[in-house]
Chain A
Amino acid sequence: MSTTSTAVRSHAEAVEVSRMIDYFGLFILFFTLIGGYHVHGMLTMGDWDFWSDWKDRRLWVTVYPIVQVTFPAAVQAVVWERLRIPWGATACVLAILLGEWINRYFNFWGWTYFPINFVFPTAAVHMAIWLDVVLMLSGSFLFTAVVGALGWGLLMYPGNWPIIAPLHVPVEYNGMLMSVADIQGYHYVRTGTPEYIRMVEKGTLRTFGKDVAPVSAFFSGFMSILIYFIWHFVGRWFGTVKFVKRT
């Protein structure tokens, strides 16, 4: 009878149980985040993330950080405030990157035969580490919104520069000035997404010449500040521990 009247029998067993809870919790959080963050990401910035010829100096730089700062802000708000865990943003980004890489390999390449160097996802771990470090050192959501989220936006393009630069090299193709990425898009035809749908560096921002990417990154950082601030409240709402009773 005594074996069933208490939950654990010793401090050692309680420690062992608490470690098991940690592992379970990590798996559940991580895989749920892959699903939630990935479906959010692919439908708000997905086209820029799927194809290298969408990865331009303007809209990719602008859209990706703004829509992607949402889940990191929400998760940080709960895991830092409730549990003092300082890697909420990094967990989000690792989760979505795992989902994206698996998909790009097994489906974009494995089912529809696009080469991986045409469909690689955007690198964002460096942005997430920055966001987590700022929150951990400052302990302030306001400071993290202003400094952390601004950096989140500014760091996106430089962090992706090593992989995207060779694809932005200009080439002459049949008498037209194009990039290597454009030629990839020409040769790997996406029948359901005609060429005219691509939203690549349209508009008068091109008159800024070489400054397109920094200006876009700065605007993206500004918007990321606002989105971070809103979404850390969203995170708190989703972190509610309330019960609802029948009225």
Chain B
Amino acid sequence: MAATTGTASAAAEAPLVDKKWLAVAIGIYSVFYAWVRWYEGVYGWSAGLDAFAPEFETYWMNFLYIEIVLEVTTASILWGYLWKTRDRNLQAIAGTREELRRNFTHLVWLVAYAYAIYWGASYFTEQDGTWHQTIVRDTDFTPSHIIEFYLSYPIYIITGFAAFIYAHTRLPYFDYQKKGISLPYLVVVVGPFMILPNVGLNEWGHTFWFMEELFVAPLHYGFVFFGWMALGILGTLLQVFASFANLIGRELCGEEVYSGGDAAQWPE
């Protein structure tokens, strides 16, 4: 009977890793971007070559208008929700299983961010290269730009800032009121975000000089510089590991490693 009760209470307890959300994060991006790639394949060639054609307005400019509205709406709701529902007494859960659970939820957010960065900075950015080296552009809002700059970049920005807000308002290790803001986390979120404003420089240059597409042209180096900021993931992961070490260090490695409190600090 006792065993039955114990099993029931264990089943009632939330799992440390909510695999449903992990699957949702990977699944949503994969399915959505597969659909986007299909859309590009169909309407890139058939309606995306002449920016002055009526079909360009129908299939591409309307896509742009809709995605911008959806992105602003999503960012406002998601960031607003995460901020409004923040934990105002983070130290109350310090050292508990709840903190461990939240750390894993944070990792799910970071998985989503890393995956979104892949789609934006790798898949759709190099895709832009082959499109522009093949097709002569007659507008800033080319089919590949409408997807790359104004869809995939905002999506990773929305995801990244959501992860950032979650960490600083839910995890005692990242408690913004007690410790401030994580510098590497700031770099890994704000740096890639800056790629979007840098589009302004890029498009201005392309318009002014009407240059041929050379991907290694100095005009593109702004993207390179802000792409370096993705390396902030190194410091962020070290902090994440330290946050976990505070929770499992004693059981994992013994008393000689774990000295209590906020023990897992990396030497500067």
Q: Which residues of A contact B (CB under 8 A)?
A: 3-8, 10-11, 13-15, 17-18, 20-21, 24-25, 27-40, 42-48, 50, 63, 71, 74-75, 78-79, 82, 99-100, 102-103, 106-108, 110-112, 114, 119, 190-194, 197, 234-235, 238-246
Interchain CB contact under 8 A, A36 and B213: no
Consensus secondary structure, chain A interface: helix
Q: Chain A's nearest CB lies how many Å from the CB of B6?
A: 10
> Cα distance A129–B44 when bound, in Å?
40
Q: Chain A's nearest CB lies how many Å from the CB of B119?
A: 8
Interchain CB contact under 8 A, A34 and B122: yes
Q: List 11 A-B contacts (CB under 8 A).
A: A7-B96, A32-B188, A35-B156, A43-B221, A47-B216, A63-B216, A192-B132, A240-B268, A241-B268, A243-B179, A244-B181
> Cα distance A77–B24 when bound, in Å?
34
Tell which of A7, A8, A33 touches B230, judged by Cβ atoms closer than 8 Å: A33
Instruction: For B96, list chain A residues within 8 Å (CB).
Output: 4-7
Residue-wise interface mask of B (216-251) relative to A, using a CB-CB cutoff of 8 A (1 in contact, 0 not) = 100011011001111111110111111010011001
Interchain CB contact under 8 A, A190 and B133: yes
Q: Does B256 contact A (CB under 8 A)?
A: no
Instruction: List residues 140-166 of chain B with CB under 8 A from any CB of chain A.
Output: 156
Q: Which residues of B contact A (CB under 8 A)?
A: 9, 13, 16-17, 37, 40-41, 44, 95-100, 104, 107, 110-111, 113-115, 117-118, 120-123, 125-127, 129-137, 156, 179-184, 186-188, 192, 195, 212-216, 220-221, 223-224, 227-235, 237-242, 244, 247-248, 251-252, 265-266, 268
Instruction: For A44, list chain B residues within 8 Å (CB).
Output: 216, 221, 224
Tell which of A18, A42, A79, A245 touches B252, judged by Cβ atoms closer than 8 Å: A18
Tell which of A10, A40, A48, A241 touches B227, judged by Cβ atoms closer than 8 Å: A40
Tell which of B9, B216, B229 touches A45, judged by Cβ atoms closer than 8 Å: B216
Tell which of A5, A20, A21, A99 touches B118, judged by Cβ atoms closer than 8 Å: A99
Given contacts A4-B96, A17-B16, A112-B134, contact A38 B228 (CB under 8 A): no
Q: Chain A's nearest CB lies how many Å from the CB of B227?
A: 4
Interchain CB contact under 8 A, B251 and A4: no
* Residue in B37, B186, B215 whose Cβ sees the most chain A Cβ within 10 Å: B215
